[in-house]
Amino acid sequence: MLIQSTQNDTVKRMRSLAAKKGRQETGLHFIEGERLVREAIASGADIAELFIEEGREAEDIASSAARVYTVTRRVLESMTDTGTPQWICAAVRTQDTTPPESYPDGLIVALDRVQDPGNLGTILRTADAMGAVGLLLGSGCADPFGPKVLRSTMGSLYHIPLWQGELDQELSKLKQAGFSLVCGHLEGNETLPPVGDKCVLIIGNEGNGVSDRVADMCCKYRLPMYGRAESLNASVAAGILMYELARTMRGQ
């Protein structure tokens, strides 16, 4: 089916996914670009609707979607968030993010009110690269299914589990299950604590850091600073901390 009008009902529904309300009402999120679409398909994501620019062939991708539409360039541009979109985009059924009854062993990254979409996406991508077994988002975090977050993850959103819940409650559950809790904190010790093979790294809000209530549950660790800067961007600090913990947990 060829869609030529930007006022088509399906096109309007795709545009609504740019807002959190639209994503919540439909249970879908919107991705664009060949790499992200292919990553979603390869990871087993449920592709509800696929949109391909007219004149393009993508039989291998099209076979993975429930519904496939051909659209004009004008229609494609009206649906997408980027200025010069690639030739393909899709609506993906949003996975369940309910926290599990029992968490898997390994490194879990938890975020306490991380609000910048770019930071969230970068942290998720880094967690994937460092072998984390999941990402736990507390209330007050940016929506992980927003357009900027999805682009920043480069497909990593579909590689590792993502959970959303009340952070205090989930951290208490993890601590009872034998996980070490470590948070980045300016008043922390500069010696990384022993963590074993079950560890949660908590990264705090860009402006205020980890909340006092969460920090009181954790071993506080401060990255040594050798220059004059007093702190780092949340995603940069998270990346360094994940690297250090991943090495430690692997005995390196």
CATH of the domain at 114: 3.40.1280.10
For residues 121 and 218, membership in a common domain is answered with: yes
Whether 186 is covered by a domain: the verdict is yes
Domain extent, residue 146, equals 106-249
Cα within 13 Å of Cα(238), Cβ side: 34
User: How far is the C-alpha of 252 from the C-alpha of 249, rounded, in Å?
Assistant: 8
Calculate what percentage of the chain has a pLDDT beyond 70.
Answer: 100
- Per-residue confidence at 104, pLDDT binned at 50, 70, 90? very high
Same domain, 139 and 203: yes
Q: What is the per-residue pLDDT across 16-75, written as a single tens digit (0 to 9) for each?
A: 999 999 999 999 999 999 999 999 999 999 999 999 999 998 888 989 999 999 999 999
- Domain end (from 93, 124, 153): 93
Give the DSSP letter string of 149-197: HHHHHTTGGGTS-EEES-HHHHHHHHHHTT-EEEEEEEEEESSPPP-TT
In a domain, 212, yes or no: yes
Could you tell me the CATH number of the domain that includes residue 29? 3.30.1330.30
pLDDT value at residue 252 = 62
Q: Which of 65, 93, 121 is the last residue of a domain?
A: 93
Residue 101 in domain: no
Give domain status of residue 201, yes or no.
Answer: yes
Q: Looking at residue 225, what is its pLDDT? A: 85
